[in-house]
């Protein structure tokens, strides 16, 4: 059973890296200097309450965005939500879709040498729940800040409200939301 889980994790990692390669190759012919790619990886923990039940999740988030202007970025994301169950059993939910960022600091500060980015995030996509063959609508709205201690490497934190229209606990469509605070790093090329 443990070998099967490792194979599944390896398959998922392969899909994620293929996703990154495809997104980055879409823009390989660009020569404009101001258009930059960003790749990020974040981690967070959050709880979802269902009455007297509390489900604890670990979430790993991978994204890639391309800067189209000094105010707007757009790309794709992949989320892996790991829920801890009784007897150390775990299950996984997967989310993927499109992400857009609106940069706020270029409206205020005109310098290109500033080491911070602040932005508003909007994610729209689909969520695949554990043992459920269907894909469910998923969305996220929030904000983030990045500090660049080095030219191409940044430390980021994001706060977001995430929502799903499918409530797996009730097995029906209803509004389900949770808030999360993420930490991670960003590579900028």
Q: What is the pLDDT of residue 49?
A: 66
Rounded to an integer, the average pLDDT of 175-181 is 72
Structure tokens at 154: 């940044």
Q: Rounded to an integer, what distance in angstroms lies between the CA atom of residue 177 and that of residue 146? A: 25
**pTM value?**
0.73
CATH number at residue 155: 2.40.160.20
Q: How many helices (H) and strands (E) does the chain have?
A: 2, 8
CB-neighbour burial class of residue 170 (10 A; exposed 0-12, middle 13-18, buried 19+): exposed
Residue 64 lies in a domain: yes
Of 59, 127, 72, which is closest to residue 97 (Cα–Cα)?
A: 127
The verdict on residue 12 lying in a domain is: no
pLDDT digits (tens, 9 = 90+) for 91-132: 788 888 899 999 998 888 877 777 888 999 988 888 887 777
Mean pLDDT of 3-12: 56
Number of domains forming the structure of the chain: 1
Residue 31 predicted with pLDDT over 50: no
Nearest to 124, CA basis, from 176, 156, 162, 68: 162
Q: Where in the sequence is the domain holding 157, given as residue range(s)?
A: 32-188
- Mean pLDDT for 78-97 is 77
| Mean pLDDT along residues 66-87 | 83
- Taking every pair of Cα atoms in the chain, the longest distance, rounded to a whole number of angstroms, is 56
Q: Residue 41: inside a domain, yes or no?
A: yes
Domain assignment present for 49: yes
């Amino acid at each position: 059973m443990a070998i099967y889980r490792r194979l599944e994790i390896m398959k998922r990692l392969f899909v994620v890296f293929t996703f990154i390669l495809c997104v980055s190759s879409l823009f390989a012919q660009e020569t404009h200097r101001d258009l930059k790619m960003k790749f990020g990886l974040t981690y967070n923990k959050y709880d979802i309450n269902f009455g007297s039940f509390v489900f604890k999740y670990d979430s790993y988030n991978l994204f890639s965005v391309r800067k189209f202007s000094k105010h707007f970025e757009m790309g794709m994301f992949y989320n892996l939500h790991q829920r801890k169950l009784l007897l150390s059993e775990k299950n996984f939910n997967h989310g993927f879709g499109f992400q857009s960022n609106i940069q706020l600091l270029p409206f205020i500060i005109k310098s290109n040498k500033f080491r911070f980015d602040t932005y508003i995030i909007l994610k729209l996509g689909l969520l695949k729940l554990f043992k459920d063959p269907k894909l469910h609508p998923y969305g996220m709205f929030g904000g983030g800040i990045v500090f660049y201690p080095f030219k191409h490497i940044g430390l980021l934190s994001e706060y977001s409200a995430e929502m799903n229209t499918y409530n797996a606990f009730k097995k029906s469509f209803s509004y389900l939301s949770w808030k999360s605070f993420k930490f991670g790093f960003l590579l900028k090329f």
